[in-house]
Copies of this chain bind each other. A is one copy, B any other.
Amino acid sequence: MKITMAHGSGGRATAELIDSIFKKAGGNPILDMMEDSAVVDGCGKIAVTTDSFVVTPLMFRGGDIGRLAVCGTVNDLLARGATPKYITTAYIIEEGADTELLDMIAQSAARTAKEAGVTIIAGDTKVIEGSGGIYINTTGVGFLDGNTDIKSSNCRVGDKLILSGTLGDHHAAILSERMDIQNDIKSDCAPLGGMVSEMMSAGVKIRAMRDVTRGGLGTVLNELCRASACGFELQEDDIPVSAAVSAFSKILGLNIMHMGNEGKLIAVVVPEDAERALQLIKSSKYGENAAIIGTVTDSGQVEVMTAIGGRRIVTELYGEGLPRIC
């Protein structure tokens, strides 16, 4: 079945679309109430984040827009040390979209929500003219205890920087799909709750945490530099990159530091906890390639030390890295 403008009317056709696809994929007592707002319990400090996903193609090796939309938002909550609990999913659908495709995407979002331990508690469906595209906004709500204070401005000189795995996989996977290049590169799109809860419950002193998405590691680290008035010194050889992505980026002249990721986080931790944090991440799901890649400095910039003794400054991304990467 093809989506028509009537599916965006708010009337019977919208209700039928919701019943046949979204409720089936991710129904639960809160969502099934179909109220104007979901009412849920919660106490203490609340984390809230929002993200829209416009990735193309909608399905790609290693994931799809539904899984991506849940992971991106869940990981943003985790980055503040919050336990992700609730998520909303709002679809903007272009007329002509295939309901079978929509169904697969909604089911993937629901499966990923289950994996990440979040409940989909509210949704929305709008239809616009176009040619079958699908956009998803997800907003996440998580809870954290009053003592948790993880934020970009907390980095201190001497802190260690841990990266949870290889860089560039999502970027390379999306670009491969678009250019119709056959390779084994898959998006890293994943919810990172396992590694964060391991670190939190082990009492690792985390100063700052960020998920490394569009804009890449270079952009995120420059943002931390500004927020904390600090710098970073990275060892190039310590930065994990898969052989396939490394070759891919060299052929296309891409800077690995600006390539987007969807299942990677950086944690800035106090030096005495760094090795322990690394082992906790490495033994968690999606963390096997984690590495300590650098140290916080007072230089005010992000410097990468190369194997042959060189020093490169990494700026944030300017201009477009890869349009519609997420």
Contacts and interface: CB of A to CB of B under 8 A. Distances in A.
Interface of A: 4-6, 8-15, 33-54, 75-77, 79-80, 82, 86, 88-92, 121-124, 126-129, 135, 137, 139-142, 144, 151-153, 210-211, 213-215, 219, 223, 227, 258, 260, 315-321, 323-324
Given A13-B318, A141-B141, A324 B48 contact: no
A6 B319 contact: yes
A141 to B, nearest CB: 6
Contacts of A40: 45-48
A68 to B, nearest CB: 12
A137 B9 CA distance: 17
Nearest to A223: B34
A49 B33 contact: no
A190 B90 CA distance: 22
Given A10-B214, A139-B88, A76 B46 contact: no
Contacts of A214: 9-11
Contact of A35 (B8, B80, B219): B80
Contact of A12 (B34, B45, B318): B318
A127 B323 contact: yes
Q: How many copies does the complex hold?
A: 2
A66 to B, nearest CB: 16
B140 A37 contact: yes
A166 to B, nearest CB: 19
A142 B141 CA distance: 12
Given A79-B37, A323-B127, A122 B49 contact: yes
A260 B10 CA distance: 9
Contacts of A210: 36
29 contacts: A5-B323, A10-B219, A11-B214, A11-B219, A12-B315, A12-B317, A12-B319, A13-B320, A15-B316, A33-B151, A33-B152, A33-B227, A35-B80, A35-B152, A40-B46, A41-B44, A42-B43, A42-B45, A43-B43, A50-B88, A50-B124, A50-B137, A52-B91, A52-B137, A54-B92, A90-B139, A128-B324, A137-B137, A139-B139
A88 B48 contact: yes
Given A38-B48, A43-B43, 4 more contacts: A10-B215, A37-B76, A48-B139, A128-B324
B48 A141 contact: yes
Contacts of A121: 48
A54 B48 CA distance: 23
Contacts of A227: 33-34
B152 A34 contact: yes
B51 A124 contact: yes
Residue among A9, A11, A14, A36 facing the most chain B CB atoms (10 A cut-off): A36
A132 B219 CA distance: 27
Given A92-B52, A319-B11, A47 B38 contact: yes
Given A37-B79, A43-B44, A215-B10, A90 B50 contact: yes
Contacts of A13: 318-320
Contacts of A34: 152, 223, 227
A42 B82 CA distance: 14
